[in-house]
Structure 1
């Protein structure tokens, strides 16, 4: 068990709130004006983790918080008294969730151990508008619907991520070389995939507060930057919002996308390992 002094854990709590507030202050200002944001809205709507939870500090499992103010945490039923202070109560994790923990560890480990595939070029976003007149985002397209269809049909589509593939339009699905399903996602996910690396945020917050807030915040920031690239490489034109397009229909754009994809792969792997260790710690304490 790690022990944090009152001064130390209060400092960490303040730093987290400041970090998240600084990241999102402009977003909430614009949101109050009913301005939709296809990058940040996605992080809250698709991943369904509330802003209040994102900035609510948690030490994670196996940490004892000391000092008089630690007793205030006992108002939250997920904390309990310890001889040396207050700690999260591992018994509050229901037995039914143990299988979920094993599943997540297995998914993260298998993904981490695979070689990255860096040739997808973000075509999943193109396959999501293929053959459609109405798009998912209220944004103009950089090409006509027919040009998008021609580009998709003349490109190699090899999407490995189930949650991206399931949003392909019906006529686009047969164009994918693979057929990942909810049941087989562990057999397909690989660490070069932008969506698999964005999903580290999902796996981090899924067992909040037993996963430490610093890991969740790191995963949130990474998911934010990946989502920006995801949308910049899409057929949508977000230049009016200040996002320069990554034109994957050109050799220069493909090179730029692959370079960024490799950077995200390199950055995500240590974070994936941190999550594996955190979940293994939870698993060990549950046995």
Structure 2
């Protein structure tokens, strides 16, 4: 346990940072606009700006002089007779232990693996392969058109290793993948070079809830957003036009594009690796307390 006496300042700084990160989403929601890159994180992970704004000190932190702390009314927190407030990690682990164990298993499985960089972002292409409504998936036009998109899939091997990309492949694309992926085998296939594995640090931070320190949650959000941007830049969609976000495409159908995509994978893996270690420490803290009950 460690005491936090400046929790008011930390909470205020966290709220300001979260507000800056979510300003675009909140502005779009107020006028009914969408952003196919940024909005994905909120929609896919069922994430709200308010979740990001709520500061948690994390497992093992004790707020001192906290009689006015809003945490007193939040789930899983407890207050002692001295006006100190802390997360009841035992209660949290009792309620959310399964989610914590799942995150721990998946995060650990990636830890010592070398990154594989040969997929070249073909998963998004496989999601619209031979599909009549491919352009409606993200509301963006296909950069090479339907026939050109299908040709790219047919002339490139599919080496997707992430179940949450693979499960959206079209029926014609599924048998083209090098492996059959399932939720049960996810820990066998997740690897640090995968864009979606880098993005999933946000999934694990959300799953860890109040046990995850606020700064770590926002760091994971920023990493996931960077991964999502690369994901869409390498996709078959035209993200450079007025309907997109003004992003420069990574033309993975070309040699130069493949080199650029692999470099982006390495950079994202380097960003995600220390976040994964921090998340693992949160998992370990929650699980060790969970055994007390």
TM range (shorter): over 0.9
Cα pair 1:79 1:87 within 8 Å, conserved: yes
Q: 1:99 to 1:206 in 2, by over 3 A?
A: closer
Alignment of 1:110-149 (within 5 A): 110-135=109-134, 136-149=137-150
SS in 2 for 1:246: coil
Partner of 1:17: 15
Tell me the distance in 2 between the aligned counterparts of 1:112 and 1:91. 26
Cα pair 2:162 2:196 within 8 Å, conserved: yes
Partner of 1:229: 230
Q: CA deviation at 1:71?
A: 4.9
Please tell me whether residue 47 in structure 1 is matched to residue 45 in structure 2: yes
Please tell me whether residue 244 in structure 1 is matched to residue 243 in structure 2: no
Correspondent of 1:285 among 256, 280, 289: 289
Which whole-Å deviations, capped at 9, do the CAs of 1:21-66 have from their partners, x for residues lacking one?
1122233223322221111111011001221111100001111001
Q: 1:280 to 1:68 in 2, by over 3 A?
A: closer
Which whole-Å deviations, capped at 9, do the CAs of 1:135-180 have from their partners, x for residues lacking one?
2111111012111111101102110000100000010000100111
Worse-superposed segment, 234-243 or 159-168? 234-243
Cα pair 2:140 2:237 within 8 Å, conserved: yes
Alignment of 1:160-171 (within 5 A): 160-171=161-172
Q: 1:170 to 1:70 in 2, by over 3 A?
A: same
Partner of 1:38: 36
Tell me the distance in 1 between the aligned counterparts of 2:183 and 2:160. 14
Which whole-Å deviations, capped at 9, do the CAs of 1:220-252 have from their partners, x for residues lacking one?
000001101100100100112211111111111
Tell me the distance in 2 between the aligned counterparts of 1:140 and 1:152. 17
Cα pair 2:122 2:153 within 8 Å, conserved: yes
Which whole-Å deviations, capped at 9, do the CAs of 1:166-216 have from their partners, x for residues lacking one?
000010000100111011101110011000110110001112111111111
Q: Which runs of 5+ in 2 are unaligned?
A: none
Please tell me whether residue 95 in structure 1 is matched to residue 94 in structure 2: yes
User: What is the RMSD of the two structures over their aligned residues, measured on CA atoms?
Assistant: 1.5
Partner of 1:257: 261
Q: TM-score by structure 2 length?
A: 0.93
Q: CA deviation at 1:68?
A: 4.3
Q: TM-score by structure 1 length?
A: 0.95
Worse-superposed segment, 208-217 or 27-36? 27-36
Please tell me whether residue 212 in structure 1 is matched to residue 210 in structure 2: no
Cα pair 1:165 1:180 within 8 Å, conserved: yes
SS in 2 for 1:93: helix
Q: CA deviation at 1:285?
A: 1.5
SS in 2 for 1:87: strand
Partner of 1:3: 3
Q: Which runs of 5+ in 1 are unaligned?
A: none
Q: 1:285 to 1:247 in 2, by over 3 A?
A: same
Q: CA deviation at 1:82?
A: 3.2
